[in-house]
Chain A
Amino acid sequence: MQAFVQRRPLTSLLVVVLAALLLWLILAPWPPGVTATLGPKRVVLSSVLSGITLGALYFLVASGFTLIFGLMRNVNLAHGSLYLLGGYLGFEIADRTGSWLLAFPIVFVAVALLGVVLQWAVFRRMEGEELRQTLVTIGLSIVIADILLWIWGGKSYQILTPDFLAGPVELPIVTAVRSDGTAVYLRYPRVRVWILVAAVVVGVAMWLVINRTRIGMLIRAGVDDREMLAASGLPIQLVFVLVFAFGAGLAGVAGIVGGTFQSLSPGEDTRFLLASLVVVIVGGMGSIPGAALGALIVGLAEQLGVLYAPTYSVVFTFLIMAAVLAFRPQGLLGGRG
Chain B
Amino acid sequence: MAVAGETRLSAADAPFGALGRVPAAVLAVAAVLLLMPAFANNFILFQVFGWTFILGMIALSLMFLAGYGGMVSLIQMTVASLAGYMVAILGPSGTEQISLGLPWWINVPVAILVATLFGTLVGALAVRTEGIYTIMITLAIAAAFFYFTRQNYTIFNGYNGFTLVVPPPLFGIDWRQPTAFYYLSLGMAALAYGAVVYVARSPFGLALQGVRDNARRMAALGYNVVWHRILAYSFAAVIASFGGILLVWQNAQIAPGTAGIPAVIDILVIAVVGGMRHPIGPFIGAFIYVLLSAFAPDVLTAFGLAPDRFKLLVGLGFLAVVAFSPDGVLGLWARAAERRRRRVDPLTGTPR
Contact = CB atoms under 8 A, between A and B. Distances in A.
Direct A/B contact, Cβ within 8 angstroms: yes
Contacts of B139: 77, 274, 277
A155 to B, nearest CB: 15
Interface stretch (B112-120, B193-201, B217-225, B306-314): B306-314
A102 B288 CA distance: 46
A314 B132 contact: no
Contacts of A139: 315-316, 318-319, 322
Nearest to A133: B322
B180 interface: no
A138 B268 contact: yes
Contacts of A130: 132
B106 interface: no
B72 A314 contact: no
Given A132-B322, A281-B136, A138 B309 contact: no
A236 B257 CA distance: 42
A134 B135 contact: yes
A277 B135 CA distance: 10
Main secondary structure of the interface of B (DSSP, over half): helix
A146 to B, nearest CB: 4
Contacts of B204: none
A284 to B, nearest CB: 11
A135 B322 contact: yes
Nearest to B322: A135
Contacts of A329: 128-129
B79 to A, nearest CB: 16
Contacts of B306: 150
B151 A311 contact: yes
B140 interface: yes
Interface in B73-129: 124-126, 128-129
B152 interface: yes
Contacts of B144: 314-315, 317-318, 321
B152 A311 contact: yes
B148 A145 contact: no
Contacts of A325: 125-126, 128-129, 137
Interface in A222-279: 270, 274, 277-278
B148 A314 contact: yes
B125 A146 contact: no
B326 interface: yes
Contacts, number: 111
B191 interface: no
Contacts of A311: 151-153
A94 B328 CA distance: 44
Task: Give chain B's interface residue range (CB within 8 Å of chain A).
Answer: 35 or more
Interface in B45-97: 72
A318 B149 CA distance: 13
Contacts of A129: 326
Residue among B72, B136, B268 with the highest chain A CB neighbour number at 10 A: B136
B314 A142 contact: yes
B312 A146 contact: yes
Contacts of A318: 140-141, 144, 148
Nearest to B125: A325
B332 interface: no
Given A140-B319, A330-B129, A145 B311 contact: yes
A143 interface: yes
B165 interface: no
A270 B322 contact: no
A220 interface: no
Contacts of A326: 124-125
A75 interface: yes
Contacts of B153: 311
B103 to A, nearest CB: 30
A337 B130 contact: yes
A302 to B, nearest CB: 11
Given A131-B72, A146-B309, A150-B309, A277 B315 contact: no
Contacts of A312: 148, 151-152
A72 to B, nearest CB: 11
B68 to A, nearest CB: 15
Given A270-B261, A315-B148, A146 B315 contact: yes
21 contacts: A75-B132, A77-B139, A130-B132, A131-B72, A135-B272, A136-B323, A142-B265, A142-B315, A142-B318, A146-B312, A146-B315, A150-B312, A270-B143, A274-B140, A311-B152, A314-B151, A315-B144, A318-B148, A322-B141, A326-B124, A329-B128
Interface of B: 72, 124-126, 128-130, 132-133, 135-137, 139-141, 143-144, 147-148, 151-153, 261, 265, 268-269, 272, 306, 309, 311-312, 314-316, 318-319, 322-323, 326
Interface of A: 73, 75, 77, 129-132, 134-136, 138-143, 145-147, 150, 270, 274, 277-278, 280-281, 285, 310-315, 317-318, 321-322, 325-326, 329-330, 336-337
